[in-house]
Amino acid sequence: MKFLLLTVLLCAWVLVAKCKVDEKTKRARADENAFDRILRLNGVDNNKDAYSLKIPKEMFEGDIVMTNKLRAQIGEMRVRSGQGMAGYDAIRGGTWPGGVVPYRYASGFAYGGAVQQAIAEYNAKTCIRFKPYTAALARTAGGYVTFMHGGGCYSMIGRQRSRQQISLGRGCGTKGVAIHEMMHALGFYHEQSRRDRDSYITINWNSINRRMWYNFQLYRVGQADTLGVGYDKSSIMHYGNYAFSINRQKTIVSKSNPNERLGQRRGLSSKDVTQLRKYYKCSGGGKVTTTKKTGCNKIDNYPFCRDLKSYCGRPWVRANCKKACNICPTPRTTTTRRPSNCRDNNRNCAGWAKYGYCRSNGYTQKNCKKACKLC
């Protein structure tokens, strides 16, 4: 009897302990930025007591596919000052002509929704266009991207001039992760690798496995370019505070505010957008979306409105208790297109487009950009 009682108590204790750990893990993962999630899914879980060296050897900085070209660049990033790091910035990898990136889904790919959310954000804020694959479009672009389920979340840097893959493996199907990996494919490294980073953040080397120090290298001038945009601690390309930590201590700390959370997973930051637009010379095209202010003042006309929150579905309550019901008119959004060279150079373009020549004829694609909707 005593043995049975002890067994029940032990099981109850284990269950409670497990629940506490699970709840703590849930809270920690709720605070993840895009790169935190990527590292965890690629084999580095900062919520575990021990560091797990599961990142494939062919990966650089946790989620960048190593290529011979990239390996040659990294070979130049060697011993400098006491920490063995050279001085690089954070971007240069080959733009896509005209900012057009042909893409397709591998067989069985299940995260199309996340990819489309990411594409919508690029469309709304830049002139970059991810367009469904056609052989002709791939020839014009000099390559294309295939979204697939690999063993984690990863991408290549910039256009590879052939087929290249963006992996959104199990758990990687979120808008933030998709935007992050797509931005690698557009030519961007991680933000904290900029040569000016030490003016904004502190790297705690003692909390990083020496074998992983290369993931915190700086990028030398000539291999990368910050395009005159200031350091961005809220970039979707920034490491999280605990990236590659071996002891649950922060590996990266903001100098202006030690408690500041680095990076995020919502989408492109304003400086991400600025760099993308500069890198792809978007000033002559693309869409700019603005929202008109409606002058909405949420007020309650009666002091008892706070007691009517459960009746906000009724017209009188909605009209007189805007504050309590948290009601504001939907902002009116207008979209204007900046002037560009989007035009047809042949009077027959509309007809050719109608009969499908935009998909197969090089002359039509080159001279009928407006009719073929290529701009």
Do 251 and 121 lie in one domain? The reply is yes
Per-residue pLDDT reduced to its tens digit, 224-266: 566 778 889 999 999 889 888 888 899 999 999 999 999 887 8
Report the distance separating Cα 96 and Cα 78, nearest Å: 29
Do residue 196 and residue 318 come from a single domain?
no
Decide if 253 contacts 299 (C-beta within 8 A). Answer: no
Query: Are both 322 and 350 inside the same structural domain?
Result: no
Residues 253 and 348 in one domain: no
pLDDT in tens, 206-231: 999 888 887 887 764 445 566 778 88
Whether the CB-CB separation of 248 and 242 falls below 8 Å is answered with yes
For residue 224, give the DSSP letter.
B
> What local confidence, expressed as pLDDT, does residue 10 receive?
54
Q: What is the mean pLDDT of each run of 10 residues along the chain (375 residues)?
A: 53 46 43 71 49 52 80 52 43 80 95 94 95 95 95 89 91 92 91 85 92 75 65 90 88 93 87 91 54 53 74 81 76 48 82 72 79 80
Cα-based distances in Å from 123 to 120, 224, 259: 5, 25, 34
Q: What is the domain-level CATH number for residue 141?
A: 3.40.390.10
Q: Three-state DSSP class for 225?
A: coil
Mapping DSSP to helix (H, G, I), strand (E, B) and coil, where does residue 191 land? helix
Q: How far is residue 70's CA from residue 60's CA, in Å, rounded to a whole number?
A: 9
- Supply the pLDDT for residue 73: 61
Within a domain: 171: yes
What was the pLDDT predicted at 373?
80
Write down the pLDDT at residue 115.
Answer: 95
**What pLDDT shows up at residue 212?**
83
Any domain includes 371 = yes
Establish if 16 belongs to a structural domain.
no
Same domain, 227 and 178: yes
**Residues 180, 322: one domain?**
no
Structural domain span for residue 349 = 341-375
Residue 90 lies in a domain: yes
The DSSP output letter for 297 is: -
Backbone angles phi, psi at 101, to 5 degrees: -120, 105
Clarify whether residues 273 and 374 are in a common domain. Answer: no
Contacts 24+ apart (CB under 8 A), 356-361: 359/134, 359/136, 360/136, 361/136
Q: Are 84 and 179 contained in the same domain?
A: yes
Report how far residue 226's alpha carbon sits from residue 187's, in angstroms, rounded to the nearest whole number.
12
Which residues are known catalytic residues? 181
Query: Is 142 within the bounds of a domain?
Result: yes
The confidence score (pLDDT) of residue 333 equals 47
Q: How many distinct structural domains can be found in the chain?
A: 3
Tokens for 157?
A: 């840097």
Judgement on whether residues 323 and 372 belong to the same structural domain of the protein: no
For 80, half-sphere exposure in the C-beta direction (CA atoms, 13 angstrom radius) is: 14
**354 falls within a domain:** yes
User: Is 46 in the same domain as 187?
Assistant: yes
Question: How many angstroms separate the CA atoms of 191 and 236, rounded?
Answer: 8
Q: Answer yes or no: do 51 and 164 share one domain.
A: yes
One domain, residues 315 and 261: no
Q: In whole angstroms, how far apart are CA 338 and each of 120, 268, 280?
A: 18, 21, 15
Please tell me the predicted confidence (pLDDT) of residue 195: 79
What is the predicted pLDDT for the residue at 299?
73
